[in-house]
Amino acid sequence: MGSAPFNLEAYDPDTPAFHEFIGDLAAMLSLFRTRGAMEAIVKSPERAETFSQLISDLAPQVAQGVYGNADRSFLRSADNDLKYSDVRDEPEVHRRSQVLSGFAFDMFEEVFRIRQQWDQKGGSGSMPRLADSQDYFRELVVTARHMARMFLRPLDLLPPGSIRFQEYAAIILDLDRRSFPDDARGYRKALERTMRKRGIFPAESERRMGADGGFDNRGLIERDINMIRSSLVGAYRFLDSNRRFFRIPENVDLRVVGLATNRREDDRGFRPPPETIIQYAWDKHMNMSKSVKAQGLERLVLHPGGTVMLDDNVNLL
């Protein structure tokens, strides 16, 4: 993940830690998308007997491949018990990021176990030993693919500027609720349980979008998707015409800082309609107190804004 707009200027300590977490997540997912490496691990005489041991055994190999023999004491372990309350006042971003890395590790294990139980159709639910199942490798690869959708798609909807852990968790839950309203396999229950365990379960105000299934789009105008997608100017025209709808002050210099259209595909090759994502922001100048000005800081520039996701009919998603 590259830096999103204004991430480098963010004031919330969660933001740089989130950047570190994305690096951990990418490394974790890339392991299970490398078929040759996974086949070698599964077939190895020294193979791990449990899921957590498997991840732990792979981690040093990745570190060696990326960093060689250099000292990298900052490398994080995803297999940890850290809660958000443990790092609330922690300025060190690598340790702070371990909360989200641990959350992703927990969910990887949860999704894998749920898939095992589902496939056994009423069996004991215990995972097979590596030596006893030809499906183990396949399940790991499918689990990694599901995790990629669950954890990477929300990145499209993060706002410019600061990113908080609970905000990211709220987007994960909302997208899962919209994609799988019945939660047939119980992944969302596992998400909520794991978020509570890590202390990042979103507050009610951050979960408000998913409860009623959508927004009231009747107030939107300039609903021309071709115009919106055509350029930053087209996206700006849409937002500027709907300032009241998006609660954008009339007197601010609104800017479109990101415009993209995504393409998705599920395990069976089905491609849902594309979604158009707009990121916008404006500058807000805050004068500092006399004591702060005495230290050379006259004012602070913040970047309020948001992210909008639209379907082909310009419905706000």
Q: What is the mean pLDDT of residues 237-248?
A: 95
DSSP 170-209: HHHHHHHHHH-TT-TT-HHHHHHHHHHHHT-PPPGGGSHH
| Helix, strand, or coil (residue 237) | helix
Query: CA 18 to CA 4: how far, in whole Å?
Result: 11
Average pLDDT over residues 157-186: 90
In this predicted model, what pLDDT tens digit does every residue of 2-59 receive, in sequence order?
567 777 777 789 999 998 898 888 877 877 766 666 666 566 555 555 455 555 555 5
Which residues, other chains included, contact 62 with Cβ-Cβ below 8 Å and sequence gap of 6+?
27, 31
Top-confidence residue, 199 or 8 = 199
- Asked if pLDDT for residue 70 goes beyond 50, the answer is no
Range with the largest mean pLDDT of 2-16, 140-154, 246-260: 246-260
Residue 212: partners with Cβ closer than 8 Å, 6 or more residues away: none
Query: Largest alpha-carbon pair distance within the chain?
Result: 71
Name the more confident of 63 and 1: 63
pLDDT of residue 249: 94
d(CA 307, CA 80): 32
Please, what is the average pLDDT of the chain? 80
pLDDT at 317: 81
Per-residue pLDDT at 30: 79
DSSP string, 35-90: HHHHHHHHH-TT--SSHHHHHHHHHHHHHHHHHTTS--TTPPPSS----HHHHTT-
pLDDT of residue 99: 94
Nearest-angstrom CA–CA distance, 99 and 86 = 9
**pLDDT the model gives residue 115:** 84
Least confident of 38-42, 81-85, 140-144: 38-42
pLDDT at residue 83, rounded to an integer: 96
Q: Which one has a higher pLDDT value, 83 or 48? A: 83
Segment of 149-153, 230-234, 259-263, 292-296 carrying the highest mean pLDDT: 230-234
In the prediction, which pLDDT does 18 show?
93
The pLDDT value recorded for residue 172 is: 95
Share of the chain above pLDDT 70, in %: 75
| pLDDT at 224 exceeding the cut of 90 | yes
